[in-house]
Structure 1
């Protein structure tokens, strides 16, 4: 929700959770052919993040589950790129630093990649 308010306040309009696109992106900017995913650091294995730990109990179950999530993410991102879409991943831990997140979003959304 914080990201939605931030992007809207920056003047960008978007659609939410388009199920017809691979991975059902969180924010979709159709005219720009850009999408944004908001990934939880734990569930999507944010590299180097302290929140991307593996639970001690039932570790093999969690490894399989979390690795499956990252495989599914990679396939969805590859499919989006193949369809001509650009993507940005916003990690859960990045939402705490709103000035940095604003710069990251503005850079992505205002960039004109051909």
Structure 2
């Protein structure tokens, strides 16, 4: 049973944005400060990547741990109510993400997924980004 009224739940769910999230903005600022330039949210690519580096044929997804089911992450724990709704929904998200990565690879694009919990360590994140963007 939901602890919020339907109206309150609707307001809360409507406030969840699909792009320009705080984790995404942290990654975008860091990548820009490192001197890389990118395009945002190319709908013509599978999965609509958050950052697209056209000349490098590389994309970055910034995933929320809860919504995209980051394995073994405490931020990805399931809600206690309405499991019959949440389990299939979140599994569908995970499968969709996996299919997008496979399709991007088939099209010759390299992908990097950055998880919400990984943005806390900025130095480590910067090293990971630089390695991904500078390799081959």
Using the size of structure 1 for normalisation, the TM-score is 0.96
Could you tell me how far apart the structure 1 residues matched to 2:123 and 2:68 are? 23
Could you tell me how far apart the structure 1 residues matched to 2:28 and 2:77 are? 27
Structure-to-structure mapping, 1:1-114, within 5 angstroms: 1-112=25-136
Aligned length: 112
Could you tell me how far apart the structure 2 residues matched to 1:48 and 1:74 are? 17
Could you tell me how far apart the structure 2 residues matched to 1:5 and 1:99 are? 13
Structure ID, larger Rg = 2
- Deviation at 1:60? 1.7
- Deviation at 1:31? 0.3
* Unpaired stretches in structure 1, ≥5 consecutive residues: none
Could you tell me how far apart the structure 2 residues matched to 1:80 and 1:25 are? 10
* Unpaired stretches in structure 2, ≥5 consecutive residues: 1-24
- Deviation at 1:96? 1.0
SS in 2 for 1:101: helix
- Deviation at 1:2? 1.1
